[in-house]
């Protein structure tokens, strides 16, 4: 449902952020030939599949219905219009049917998708908290799962090493017509944490399932015999591996205290609701409106011979919730976002 919007005295600045790479169309033209560029897989779904933002605002306040409308009104005063991959100054075009605005200036912002008539805002279509992350990862967009009514989507992102991430597209209203398949983009990854917990220094888990034990022993032996690199016939070697001693079949104790892991959400359309365990590289104070929290730099993926995936996490603990320090390992549930402004630089 859209809400009526008072457009009197409304002003917003075009966001041509100097620190972001730009000119997506010019860069993309250099990578194309006479063959029409391929688009990512596009799946249209009902907005109910993607879910609403009530739980996301609850990360920031316990009184969503009372507080969030006030925040949205306050954020308009110095709102900007992110360009994303587009070079068009959206507020200068009277033919636009919607705008994306974000404010106030800061790391955490209130993003609003507005319906536009004759160059003026007329209704609020959607609103969500946005983390203006400073950590970018090179990805390709392989799938766009979107709802036409809300102008929102969840992206499937593939990293260079083959890892898959799912993230809410924070800039979809301006980027929806610009994504190309098999093209490298710089995705700025940020997240809002529902809750976090510390990982114990000596936390372990015992794996006693015979198939899991066999896979663990076989994989370690094969990699050790191949200088840590997976051979091309890895699956064949795993299937052919046989234990040499009784110890090879004994339960395996895994140290979880230094483990880095990422699991996307299991519900279709809500894969951006993720679980992670990671190492905290940095922690600093974070403020949004009257809320006080922490901004965390966290490694969520660390594969051999690959660039680690680092995201920024906005964490607003309440009551007896934990405080986080750099160097600690933490885990918890997050809402993962991506903001894409440009192609990745070519080497």
**pLDDT mean over 113-128:** 92
| pLDDT score for 4 | 47
Residue indicated by tokens 């890895």: 234
Q: Give the tens place of pLDDT for each residue, 296-322.
A: 999 999 987 789 999 999 999 987 778
List residues bridging with 286 in a β-sheet.
293
CA atoms of 116 and 93, how far apart (whole Å)? 10
Contact 321, 332 (CB under 8 A): no
Per-residue pLDDT at 252 exceeds 90: no
Phi-psi region of 102 (alpha: psi -120 to 50; beta: other; left: phi over 0): beta
pLDDT at 65: 94
For residue 172, give the nearest of 157, 150, 193 by alpha carbon.
150
Cα 90 to Cα 97: distance, rounded to the nearest angstrom = 10
Give the pLDDT confidence score for residue 78 in this predicted structure.
86
Query: What is the structure's pLDDT at 253?
Result: 78
Q: How far is it, in rounded angstroms, from Cα 6 to Cα 73?
A: 10
Contacts of 208 (CB under 8 A, 6+ apart): 251, 252
Instruction: Give 119's contacts (C-beta < 8 A, 6+ positions apart).
Output: 91, 93, 94, 96
List 264's β-bridge partners, or say none: none
Once rounded to an integer, what is the mean pLDDT over residues 124-147? 96
Position 204 scores a pLDDT of 78
Largest CA distance in the chain: 79
**pLDDT at residue number 203:** 78
The span from the CA of 172 to the CA of 76, in Å, is 20
Q: Which parts of 45-163 are beta strand (E)?
A: 80-82, 98-103, 108-117, 120-131, 136-147, 152-159
DSSP, collapsed to helix, strand or coil, labels residue 199 as coil
Token pair 């990745």 in the structure block, residue: 344
Rounded Cα distance between 64 and 58, Å, is: 6
First to last CA, the chain: 46
What is the model's pLDDT at position 28?
52
pLDDT at 118: 85
Q: What angle do CA 308, 310, 316 make, to 5 degrees?
A: 155
- Rounded Cα distance between 125 and 98, Å, is 9
Q: Name the phi and psi angles at 217, rounded to 5.
A: -65, -45
Tens-digit pLDDT profile for residues 168-225: 999 999 999 999 999 999 999 999 999 999 998 777 778 788 888 888 888 888 888 8
- Alpha carbon of 291 to those of 87, 126, 279, 286, 295: distances in Å? 34, 22, 25, 8, 12
pLDDT at 324: 94
Please determine, for residue 15, whether its predicted confidence score (pLDDT) is greater than 90. Answer: no
Answer whether 314's CB lies under 8 Å from 193's CB. Answer: yes
Coil, strand or helix at 305: coil
Q: What are 318's two structure tokens? A: 């309440």
């Amino acid at each position: 449902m859209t809400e009526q919007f008072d457009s009197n005295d409304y002003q917003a600045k075009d966001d041509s952020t100097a620190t972001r790479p730009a000119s997506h169309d010019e860069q993309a033209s250099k990578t194309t030939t006479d063959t029409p560029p391929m688009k990512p897989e596009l799946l249209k779904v009902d907005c109910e599949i993607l879910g609403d933002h009530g739980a996301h605002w609850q990360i920031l306040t316990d009184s969503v219905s009372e507080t969030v409308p006030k925040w949205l009104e306050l954020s308009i005063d110095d709102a900007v219009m992110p360009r994303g991959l587009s070079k068009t100054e959206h507020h200068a075009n009277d033919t636009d049917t919607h705008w994306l605005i974000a404010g106030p200036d800061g790391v955490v912002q209130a993003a609003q998708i507005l319906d536009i008539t004759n160059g003026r805002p007329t209704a609020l279509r959607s609103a969500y908290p946005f983390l203006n992350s400073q950590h970018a990862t090179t990805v390709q967009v392989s799938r766009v799962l979107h709802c036409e009514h809300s102008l929102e989507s969840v992206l499937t992102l593939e990293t260079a090493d083959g890892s898959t991430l799912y993230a809410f597209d924070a800039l979809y209203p301006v980027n929806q017509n610009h994504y190309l398949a098999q093209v490298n983009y710089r995705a700025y990854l940020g997240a809002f944490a529902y809750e976090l917990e510390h990982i114990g220094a000596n936390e372990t888990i015992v794996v006693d399932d015979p198939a899991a034990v066999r896979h663990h022993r076989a994989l370690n032996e094969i990699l050790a015999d191949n200088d840590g690199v997976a051979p091309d016939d890895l699956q064949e070697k795993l299937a052919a591996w046989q234990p040499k001693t009784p110890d090879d079949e004994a339960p395996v104790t895994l140290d979880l205290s230094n483990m880095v892991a990422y699991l996307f959400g299991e519900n279709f359309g809500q894969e951006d609701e993720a679980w992670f365990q990671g190492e905290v590289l940095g922690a600093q104070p974070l403020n949004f409106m009257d809320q006080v929290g922490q901004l965390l730099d966290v490694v969520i993926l660390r594969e051999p011979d690959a660039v680690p995936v680092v995201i920024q996490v906005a964490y607003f603990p309440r009551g007896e919730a934990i405080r986080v320090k750099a160097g600690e390992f933490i885990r918890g549930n997050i809402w993962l976002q991506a903001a894409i402004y440009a192609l990745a630089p070519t080497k």
